[in-house]
Structure 1
Amino acid sequence: MKPIIVFGSINMDLVAKTPRLPVAGETIKGDEFFTAGGGKGANQAVAAARLGISTQIVGRLGNDDFGRQLLRHLQAAGVQTDGVLVDEATSSGVAVITVDDAGENNIIIIAGANGRLNETDVERLRSKLPGAAALLMQLEIPMTTVQLAAQAAHSAGVPVILDPAPAQDIPDELYSRIDIITPNQLEASQLVGFPVDGEEAAAKASAELQQRGVSTVIVKLGDRGVFCATAEETFFVPAFSVQAVDTVAAGDAFNGALAVALAQGRSLREAVVWGAAAGALSATKAGAQPSLPDRKTFETFLKERGVGIC
C-alpha cells in the first residue's frame, strides 16, 4: 500500500480529570493528572500507523524533555519520524486538557515549535509526497503553511484530507485544494456561519462547502453519527454506541482510519464506517495517543458489530 503522510502538530498533553468542567472563574478539585503524547498531527499519524499502514510525519519539536519523549512515542507506534525537525529556538508544543466524567473536554494549546512551521518544512514534505496515498493536515500550525502544503500535495496529485480544527476561518483559495474536509459540528458551524446541529443542517453545510470547492465533505455529529456528501451521493452513518471516557482524540482516530481504509482501496462509505468505529473506540480510553486502537483491537470491534473487514 502507498504510505500516508501527516503534516502537522506534535504536542505533549497535560491532562486533568474532573467530575465536571469548571465554569469561568471557578476552582474545582480534580481526580487525576497524567501526561500523554498528543497534537492533532501526531495523533492522526499514530492512528494510521497502529492500523497497519506505513505512515510518516513532518513537523517540529523543541529541544527539550517533552520533545524527546514525544519522538519516542511516535517511533514506538511505528510512525516514521525522519521528517521531524528539532527546533533549537523554541519549546515543544503543549496542550492543557480538562476531561469530565462524561468524557467531554476543553483544551488550551500552546503552539511552541508547531507555530514555527514554514516553507522550509513544506520543502521537506514535498520530497515525501510522490507515491503517497494521502496527505493529512489539521489547523494547529500556521494557516499560510497549511496552504503551501496543500498546494504541494495538489501539484503532486496526492489527495488532501483536512481536519479544520481548531475551528477557524479558512481562506477561500484553500478550499479547492482540499479533497476531503472533516469538520465536527462546531467546526462546520464556524465555517458556514449557521448552527450545524443535525443531519439536515449538515447537508446544508456540506453543500455550502462543496460550492467553495471541496470535493467531499464529512461532518462528524458526535454520538449521532456522520454525514457525508460528494458530487455523486450523500449518506449518513450512525454512530457506534460506546461508554465514552475521553473524547480528546476521537476526531483524529476518525481521520486516521478514514485514510487507511481509502489507502486500502475501500469505498468512501466503508471508510466513513471505519472512521466512526475508530473514533468510538478511542473515546473508551483516557488520553490522546494511548486511546488509539491497534489493528487487532479495531478488527475485533468491527467483527463484534457485524462490520465486514475483508
Structure 2
Amino acid sequence: MTNHVTIVGSLNVDTTMKVKRMPLPGETIAALSKTNAAGGKGANQAVAAARSGAETAFVGQVGDDAGGKMMINDLKNNNVDTTGIHVDDQAGTGSAAILLDESGQNSILVYGGANQQLSVKEVEDARDQIAAADFVIAQFETPQEATLRAFQIAKENGVKTILNPAPAHEINPDLLKLTDLIIPNETESAALTGIIITDETSMLMSAAKFAQMGVRNLIITVGAKGAFYCTQDGYNFIPAFKVNAVDTTAAGDTFIGALSSQLKPDMSNIEKAIVYAQRASSLAVQKLGALPSIPTYDEVVAASKNN
C-alpha cells in the first residue's frame, strides 16, 4: 500500500559554499566552490518521501521570483503535488547560505522570506490535501499557527501527524497535544525537554517528558550513531550505517521523508521503517547538496542488498 504524505513546510533556495574549514570570528577565507540547489527542510522531506514512493503533496509559500519558480519546478519534477504552494508577491522566496567544510560538517544561515508569511488561510485552502493524507509532516521553518491549523485538520480527518521540531524553539503546548510522532535530533530534544542525551536512560527520560507534554511516540536521531525510538509498544536504539559523509545538510530531512514513505499509520513497523530511513540518510550524506543527494526507493533497496 502506498502512503499519502502531505508536507506543511519551508521552501528555500540553498547556496552552498565549500570551505577547507569553518572561518573564525572576524576571519575571511576563500571558498573552494559555490553551488545553488533547491532545499528547505520542507522541500527536502517532501522529495525524500516522493523518491521513496509516497504520494506526496506540499503546502507552503514562495516569492514571486526566479527562486520561487525554481522551487515549484523542482518539486513538480520530483512528482510532488504543488497545488498547495502559494505565491507571495510581497516577500521573497526563502533562502539558505550553507558553509560546508572538508569533514562534511555544515553551518547554515536561513532567510525565512515567504516561508514566514505562511498563514492559516493557505492551510485552509489545502484542506483536501491534508485530509487525504496518511501522514502530515511539519517543521519549524514556517509559523506554528499554520502548523497548528494543519494538525487540527489532520486530526479531524483521522490523519497521523509528525512534527520535526527544527530549528528547536518554544512549542505551543496545543501543537504537541496534536502530534502523534515527534522526531527531534539529540540537540533539539535536549532544548525541548531540558534532558541532555547521553545514554539509553536519558533517552527514556526524554520519552517520558514528551509523553507528559502529550506526544506518546518519539524518535531521537543521534547523527552518525543511529536513532532511538519509543512508542507505546516498546523502545530500541538502532545503530546507523557507517559511511564516509561528504555533506550532512539533508541527512535528517531524508530520514524523516523516507520514514514517512514506509511507516504504517499504526506505527507497528516502526523499527523496519527506521532501518530503511537510516539507509536512505546514509546514501544522502555521501553526495553534495540537499535535494540532489536524496536517494530513490530503488537506490535504497540496492544499497541494502549490497551490505
- Same-fold call, TM cutoff 0.5: yes
Matches within 5 A, 1:262-277: 262-263=263-264, 267-277=269-279
Unaligned stretches of 5+ in structure 2? none
Q: What residue identity is the alignment partner of 2:188? A: E
Q: How many residue pairs get matched?
A: 305
DSSP 3-state at the match of 1:285: coil
Asked if 1:148 corresponds to 2:149, the answer is yes
Aligned to 2:27: 26
Q: What residue identity is the alignment partner of 2:186? A: Q
Shift of residue 26, structure 1, vs aligned partner: 2.0
Matches within 5 A, 1:151-170: 151-170=152-171
Distance change (3 Å), C-alpha of 1:285 and 1:209: same
Aligned to 1:291: 293
TM-score (norm 2): 0.96
Please identify, of 126-135 and 46-55, the stretch whose mean Cα deviation from structure 2 is larger.
Answer: 126-135
Matches within 5 A, 1:89-128: 89-128=90-129
Matches within 5 A, 1:200-219: 200-219=201-220
Query: Do the aligned residues in 2 keep the contact of 1:163 with 1:182 (CA within 8 Å)?
Result: yes
Distance change (3 Å), C-alpha of 1:81 and 1:277: same
Distance change (3 Å), C-alpha of 1:244 and 1:122: same
Distance change (3 Å), C-alpha of 1:266 and 1:229: closer
Unaligned stretches of 5+ in structure 1? 306-310
Query: Do the aligned residues in 2 keep the contact of 1:2 with 1:131 (CA within 8 Å)?
Result: no
Shift of residue 129, structure 1, vs aligned partner: 2.3
DSSP 3-state at the match of 1:26: coil
Q: Identity of aligned pairs, percent? A: 38
Aligned to 1:282: 284
Please identify, of 200-209 and 250-259, the stretch whose mean Cα deviation from structure 2 is larger.
Answer: 200-209
Q: What residue identity is the alignment partner of 2:131? A: P
Deviations 1:244-294 (A, max 9, x none): 001111111000111011159870111111121111111111110001001
Aligned to 2:43: 42
DSSP 3-state at the match of 1:277: helix
Matches within 5 A, 1:49-198: 49-198=50-199
DSSP 3-state at the match of 2:98: strand
DSSP 3-state at the match of 1:58: strand
State how far apart, in whole Å, the 1-side matches of 2:22 and 2:200 are.
28
Q: What residue identity is the alignment partner of 2:17? A: A
DSSP 3-state at the match of 2:48: helix
* Alignment root-mean-square deviation, CA: 1.4
Distance change (3 Å), C-alpha of 1:56 and 1:236: same
DSSP 3-state at the match of 1:196: coil
DSSP 3-state at the match of 1:127: helix
Query: Do the aligned residues in 2 keep the contact of 1:7 with 1:125 (CA within 8 Å)?
Result: no
State how far apart, in whole Å, the 2-side matches of 1:201 and 1:20 are.
33
State how far apart, in whole Å, the 2-side matches of 1:197 and 1:29 are.
37
Q: What residue identity is the alignment partner of 1:67? A: G
State how far apart, in whole Å, the 2-side matches of 1:263 and 1:242 are.
28
TM-score (norm 1): 0.95
Aligned to 2:7: 6
State how far apart, in whole Å, the 2-side matches of 1:228 and 1:258 are.
12
Shift of residue 24, structure 1, vs aligned partner: 2.3
Please identify, of 146-155 and 281-290, the stretch whose mean Cα deviation from structure 2 is larger.
Answer: 146-155
Query: Do the aligned residues in 2 keep the contact of 1:203 with 1:227 (CA within 8 Å)?
Result: no
Q: What residue identity is the alignment partner of 1:7? A: V
Query: Do the aligned residues in 2 keep the contact of 1:175 with 1:213 (CA within 8 Å)?
Result: yes
